[in-house]
Amino acid sequence: MSTGGPVRAVRRGPEAARVAAEQAARRRREQKILLAAVVALVVLVVGGGMGLQAWRSGRAPSTGPVPAVADVPQTVADGQPLRFGPAAAPATVTLYEDYHCPHCADFEEEFGDVLSGAQTTGQARVDLYPMSFIDAGSAAAANAAACAAEAGFGQAYHLGLFANPTLEWSDRQLVDLAGEVGGQPGGAFSTCVTTRAKSSWVTSVNTAADANGVEGTPTLFLDGAPVPVEGLTPEKLQTMIETATPGNG
């Protein structure tokens, strides 16, 4: 790059000094261009990144996995979980999750098949406490999950929520998701979502979780006994569900 420039200037008179000055000027020009290019690149990357995130948060939801057991309408009672799967199953898996908790989405992706399989074989049912402590989207999604459960597509909707973990869960997205997962997005459900009809239940779930000593999500119990999620594998959970002795909870 600059080898010899200044050295030669020292050595040979005014003519070399002029060459050096030209070189310096050219270098300054190149520096300006380079700096401008880098600044433009940074602006482009950050701006593009913001656009990407806006799209990831604001896009329309996609459908999730199909529930193993057909959903039926249920009554949602304060402090009580949403109930998925065969009511008469010997084992009960109790789950505390927040719809905006990234680890919960990971948990659902990793263990969803086991939970779904256990419902199909009639071994276990799932009690879900959708907590909402991360942000407003968590609460809106929990409210909508309760609306969906009462409307008779609770588990499909629950799986759909976790299949779209980057969405911010605006009212529009929550209503659209009902259509995606085969529920009825219109009328009653839409009103239930937009008016936060289940907000007192949403609060009661948080209170119940506190009362049960749940401090983070995802938290998992099998027949009332805590199951550490750390180090858990689908195979281990499968075995635990199969060997669960009924009536312990």
Q: Which residues bind other proteins (CB under 8 A)?
A: 1-4, 6-7, 10-11, 24, 27, 31, 34-35, 38, 42, 45-47, 49-50, 53-54, 56-57, 100, 102, 133-135, 137, 165-169, 215
Q: What is the dihedral angle through the alpha carbons of 139, 144, 145, 149, rounded to the nearest 10 degrees?
A: 140
Contact assessment for residue 76 and residue 146, using Cβ atoms and an 8 Å cutoff = yes
Give 48 or 186: the residue with its C-beta nearer to other proteins. 48
Give 119 or 206: the residue with its C-beta nearer to other proteins. 206
Give 31 or 200: the residue with its C-beta nearer to other proteins. 31
- Tell whether omega for the bond before 65 is within 30 degrees of 0, i.e. cis: no
Q: How far apart are the first and last CA of the chain?
A: 76
Q: Residue 138 Cβ, how far from other proteins at the closest point, in Å?
A: 8
Helix (H) or strand (E) holding 227: strand 225-227
Single out the residue of 1, 28, 237 nearest to residue 123, CA to CA: 237
Q: What is the dihedral angle through the alpha carbons of 187, 190, 191, 196, rounded to the nearest 10 degrees?
A: 160
Give 46 or 225: the residue with its C-beta nearer to other proteins. 46
Q: Residue 6 Cβ, how far from other proteins at the closest point, in Å?
A: 7
Q: Residue 36 Cβ, how far from other proteins at the closest point, in Å?
A: 12
Q: Residue 53 Cβ, how far from other proteins at the closest point, in Å?
A: 4
Q: Residue 31 Cβ, how far from other proteins at the closest point, in Å?
A: 5
Kindly state the tokens that stand for 203: 């609060």
Give the C-alpha separation, 38 to 204, whole Å.
52
Give 121 or 133: the residue with its C-beta nearer to other proteins. 133
Give 10 or 211: the residue with its C-beta nearer to other proteins. 10
Q: Residue 214 Cβ, how far from other proteins at the closest point, in Å?
A: 11
Kindly state the tokens that stand for 63: 């459908």
